[in-house]
């Protein structure tokens, strides 16, 4: 149902809602009843224009991946409860190509489900839509057509991790083999730009020499060429856009020098980034807190943030950001709010928490699928879960099932087998969430308040304040 002020409910406006019935709701309002179809979602975005995704610029932002298409009301409630509304820009429609493939959802379904969820929540401010981990031209075009406005380029398949430990002859060979024509560059010119004079990185200490530069170029040069090609495809559509570059799913941390190389070369190639996701030190695994040396991470965050300000400005993006509670405060402070938080699987786990509490048999089936599929489904993820540490469904009492959602190993096993579980149980899980709508929304809100609250005091710009 759509409730519109009569002044807005003209014949031209109501005609957008194909097949809708119309009734006088009294007190100056008109009530429209329309099916939840793609056409209705489009009509909502045309009529309530804040529901149409837009580029969000440098505002502190948070992405809420929603694999079921039912979590946006809970995400919006968390924005309200945490004080983030109006300070942190939300991206309610966020999904990677990998997630869309495993959930068998289209890009348009992702955007439309978020539209309906934001409408249901009464969301009144602007919002974005993130097409995550795009790797091909067709990925880009599909997501432009669906109305996404934030495009995360993932050139990780073009990152050469072997450069990390290559000897000098091998490194020289890798540099010589770079796609220099696509980069509109050559090794001599690159050295001139980076080695002829010190780079002012806003306080970050950069130690470039020929070896360091060669390693950065060998590691990331082909990835830059791929990102530039994706940008040309995106720009040619004429659609509004902003770009994030993601190199977080690689084997080795991104050094400060490599980050500077990426930033300056993106600028030279004319690829405007609103955010960049380096591979930080330590382990950012799915669905659990940061694992590693927190002091070392804090030290490098300061340098990465300085580079982002000096060579952008753009935001640092925290991928696999779900449940990294020990990191939120330090990264919000280090970046002074020039940060984007990206979450996804934790919302699915909150849906399973509802199942654990209210349909133990359904949850046990999801857990059984986790045991069956984990070794296969984990292959595209960087995680450390031990399957043998996760109890079998028959070995856990009903009352103890919800506690598995607080166990790191169980969380990760359930997290990465979501596609297999939804193939088998998706219809039943969605029906349960409809029946337990209030509990689902409240659980999401409480969980995400913990994600958002540390960023609120450091919010960089008012929502809508672009730079």
Residue pair 216/193 in contact by the 8 Å Cβ criterion: no
Q: Determine if the peptide bond prior to 177 is cis (ω within 30°).
A: no
Residue pair 211/168 in contact by the 8 Å Cβ criterion: yes
134: which residues sit within 8 A by CB, 6+ positions away?
97, 140, 143, 151, 152, 153, 154, 230
Please tell me whether residue 464 adopts helix, strand or coil conformation: coil
CB hemisphere CA count around 51 (13 angstroms): 23
Residue 132 annotated in active site: yes
How many residues are there in the chain?
467
Q: Is 305 exposed, middle or buried (0-12, 13-18, 19+ CB in 10 A)?
A: buried
d(CA 299, CA 320): 20
Residue 98 token pair = 């990998």
Please tell me whether residue 137 adopts helix, strand or coil conformation: helix
Out of 112, 132, 185, 408, pick the active-site residue: 132
Residue 244 annotated in active site: yes
Out of 244, 258, 359, 409, pick the active-site residue: 244
d(CA 179, CA 93): 35
Phi, psi (rounded to 5 degrees) for 214: -60, -40
d(CA 55, CA 13): 25
Edge-first strand listing for the sheet containing 2-5: 2-5, 29-33, 21-26
Active site residues: 132, 244
């Amino acid at each position: 149902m759509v409730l519109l002020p009569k002044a807005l409910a003209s014949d031209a406006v109501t005609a957008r809602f194909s097949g809708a019935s119309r009734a006088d709701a009294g007190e100056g309002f008109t009530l429209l009843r329309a099916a939840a179809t793609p056409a209705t979602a489009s009509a909502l975005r045309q009529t309530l224009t804040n529901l149409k995704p837009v580029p969000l610029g440098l505002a502190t932002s948070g992405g809420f991946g929603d694999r079921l298409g039912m979590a946006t009301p809970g995400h919006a409630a968390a924005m309200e409860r945490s004080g983030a509304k109006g300070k942190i820009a939300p991206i309610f429609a966020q999904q990677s190509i990998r997630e869309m493939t495993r959930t068998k959802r289209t890009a348009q379904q992702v955007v439309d489900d978020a539209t309906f969820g934001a409408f249901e929540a009464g969301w009144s401010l602007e919002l974005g839509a993130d097409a995550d981990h795009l790797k091909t031209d067709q990925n880009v075009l599909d997501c432009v057509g669906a109305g996404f406005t934030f495009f995360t380029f993932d050139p990780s398949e073009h990152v050469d991790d072997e450069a990390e430990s290559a000897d000098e002859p091998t490194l020289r060979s890798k540099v010589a083999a770079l796609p220099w024509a696509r980069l509109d560059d050559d090794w001599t010119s690159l050295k001139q730009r980076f080695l002829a004079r010190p780079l002012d990185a806003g306080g970050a200490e950069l130690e470039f020499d020929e070896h360091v530069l060669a390693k950065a170029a060998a590691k990331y040069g082909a990835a830059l060429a791929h990102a530039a090609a994706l940008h040309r495809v995106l720009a040619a559509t004429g659609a509004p856009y902003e770009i994030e570059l993601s190199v977080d799913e690689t084997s080795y941390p991104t050094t400060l020098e490599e980050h500077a190389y990426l930033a300056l070369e993106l600028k030279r190639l004319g690829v405007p980034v609103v955010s960049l996701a380096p591979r930080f030190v330590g382990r950012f695994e799915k669905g659990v807190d940061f694992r590693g040396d927190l002091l070392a991470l804090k030290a490098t965050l300061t340098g990465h943030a300085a580079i982002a300000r000096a060579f952008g400005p753009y935001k640092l993006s925290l991928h696999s950001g779900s449940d990294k509670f020990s990191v939120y405060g330090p990264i919000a402070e280090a970046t002074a709010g020039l940060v984007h938080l990206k979450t996804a699987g934790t919302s699915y786990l909150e849906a399973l928490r509802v199942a654990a509490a209210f349909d133990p048999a359904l949850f046990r089936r999801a857990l059984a699928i986790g045991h069956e599929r984990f070794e296969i489904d984990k292959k595209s993820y960087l995680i450390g879960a031990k399957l043998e540490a996760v109890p079998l469904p028959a070995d856990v009492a009903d009352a103890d099932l919800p506690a598995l959602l607080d166990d790191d190993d169980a969380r990760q096993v359930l997290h990465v087998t979501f596609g297999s579980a939804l193939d088998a149980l998706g219809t039943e899980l969605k029906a349960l969430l409809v029946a337990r709508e209030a509990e689902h929304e409240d659980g999401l809100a409480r969980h995400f308040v913990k994600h958002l609250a540390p960023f609120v005091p450091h919010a960089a710009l008012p929502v809508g304040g672009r730079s």
